[in-house]
Structure 1
Amino acid sequence: MSRKDAGDFPPEPPFDCPRCPRLVEYRKENARKEPHWHNAPVHSFGDTGARLLIVGLAPGRTGANRTARPFTGDWAGDLLYPTLQKFGFARGTFDKDGDDDLQLVEAMITNAVRCVPPENKPTGEECNRCRPFLTARIEDLPQLEIILALGGIAHTNTLRALGVKASARKFEHNAWHDLEGPDGRAFRLVNSYHCSRYNTNTGRLTTEMFEEVFAGVRGALSG
């Protein structure tokens, strides 16, 4: 992957990013209602020496859009961050509002779409417009070995960010895919159902299933 492939985009969008008109208007609407919230693109969080990159879908309105940290402030983070701690990818205390000293270790978290979308559903065009930031984010992690995609949309956007046809690798929970980026770097893409409240409440994803994915990732990085 080269900076040219990323369209000369930085790894993180500016806080006044204008690329998606619908999302810009939604940011402004949220800012009018909740002026003390973040209400801006949510930047990646973690270790710049990451060997693991976790890719989610987009910030939640009352989660990362409020706290400015991915997966912080909603149920998904209440499952994700303790799991990261359990498998040695995080240290410190975790507070659901981000008032903590939490640090990630050899890991980083980002989203396919950096602004909160209405009803948690970005459009295909919004994914396309935001994808260069994901490509640049991957590029700027020189020690990256494994990308964990949480959910089908994150999976598809990661494949496209790597220049791989979305139809080439099927999304399945705990599926592993060997990939090669445009610059020849090898990656392993791992899938998990998204750790959303809906998925956990319905039993689609259990804590045991989620931890099994992370156990595999830890084992692969330790091997």
Structure 2
Amino acid sequence: MDAVSRLDAAVVTCRACPRLVAWREEVGRVKRRAFRDWEYWARPVSGFGPPDAPLVIVGLAPAAHGGNRTGRVFTGDPSGDVLYPALHAVGLASRPTATHPGDGMELFGVRITVPVHCAPPANRPTTTERDTCRPWLARELRLLRPDLRAIIVLGGFAWQALLPVLLAAGWQLPRPRPAFGHGAHVVLGDVRGDRRVHLLGCYHPSQRNTSTGRLTPAMLRDVLWHGAAIAGLPHGQGRGGRAG
């Protein structure tokens, strides 16, 4: 088992945040009517994707009836129904739909993770919960660092959660700190000056953002294509389809 897989196995045992533990388990007991026959995962949800990915996507947290139900990030919820088709269209995923672990989904050169690994009530983690969960993200990015070239950040919460992690990991942040925005692009050097990582902002593919047109599938595909091209992935060499 590689180091990232060991980290993933440790993440799912965490019970550090009492409110999140109580909520994720209550959701798993009560369930949603459409999923009453499911046995909910109801535990922390680890990152998903290869351990040597040069491209990382950082979201917010598992959805109560999505990742908290299926056990895989962005799987079985409306946000995933937007994200995975876009990844597939750019050539970064093996299929456009994500329903459950074991469905055949494979990611190519990209890993998806979150700063908060448990489903929060109303999709709103507290700052204390965010900070308590931070060491998991820090450890994950340290393990990914040798191959890491680009990070796509989905939403302002993830952006603010990620910046302290990057700073602690030795990446240099400009002053003032870069602000989140869709299409934001910041290049960070490390303290030794021999490495760079590209930080790209993208609106979160939440149902609210996609239903209002704030984020369209084309906008999302464009950011994914940009990140894949920066990361040197052959799948990102052609807009709207696979290459390589």
TM-score normalised by length of structure 1: 0.88
The partner residue of 2:217 within 207, 214, 220 is 207
Check if 1:138 corresponds to 2:148: no
- Does structure 1 retain, via aligned residues, the 8 Å contact 2:92–2:109? yes
Give the letter aligned to residue 182 of structure 2: H
Q: CA offset at residue 92 of structure 1? A: 4.3
Question: Could you tell me how far 1:84 is from its partner in structure 2?
Answer: 1.0
33 and 155 in structure 1: CA distance in 2 versus 1, 3 angstrom threshold = same
Higher fraction of strand: 1
Q: CA deviation at 1:118?
A: 0.5
1:103 aligns to 2:110 (yes or no)? no
Q: Does 1:114 align with 2:117?
A: yes
SS at match of 1:104: coil
- TM-superposed deviation, 1:183: 7.1
- For 2:231, what is the secondary structure of its paired residue? helix
Candidates 81, 97, 121, aligned match of 1:94: 97
**Which residue of 149, 157, 160 corresponds with 1:156?**
160
User: Which 4+ runs in 1 deviate beyond 6 A?
Assistant: none
- Paired residue type of 1:116: A
Query: How far does the alpha carbon of each residue in 1:77-126 deviate from its partner, in whole angstroms, 9 at most, with x for none?
Result: 11111111111211246343445111111110011100000010000010
Q: Distance in 1 between matches of 2:190 and 2:22?
A: 34
Deviation at 1:212, TM superposition (A): 1.4
Matching residue's letter, 1:27: R
The Cα of 1:56 is off from its aligned counterpart by 0.4
Q: Secondary structure at the match of 1:149?
A: strand
**Corresponding position: 1:28 with 2:32:** no
Q: Is the 8 A contact 1:93 1:101 kept in 2?
A: no
Quick one: which amino acid aligns to residue 158 of structure 2?
A
Aligned to 2:184: 175
Contact 1:11 1:135 in 2 (8 A): no
Match of 1:56? 59
Compute the RMSD of aligned alpha carbons. Answer: 2.3
Native 8 Å contact 2:11 2:46 kept in 1: no
The separation in 2 between residues aligned to 1:171 and 1:221, in whole angstroms, is 20
Partner of 1:39: 42
Tell me, what secondary structure is at the counterpart of 1:103? coil
Q: How far 1:219 moved relative to its partner?
A: 2.5
Contact 1:42 1:64 survives alignment (8 Å): yes
156-165 or 185-194, larger mean C-alpha shift: 156-165
Tell me the matched-pair count: 215
Q: What's the counterpart of residue 229 of structure 2?
A: 219
- For 1:202 and 1:92, how far apart are their aligned partners in 2? 26
Contact map agreement 2:84 2:98 (CA 8 A) in 1: no
Percent identical:
39
Shift of 1:181: 4.8
Which whole-Å CA distance do the structure 2 matches of 1:204 and 1:118 have between them? 24
Q: TM-score, normalised by structure 2?
A: 0.81
Q: Distance in 2 between matches of 1:39 and 1:183?
A: 42
| Aligned partner letter, 1:23 | L
| Structure 2 counterpart of 1:19 | 16
Question: 2:170 is matched with which residue?
Answer: none
Give yes or no for the alignment of 1:81 onto 2:84.
Answer: yes
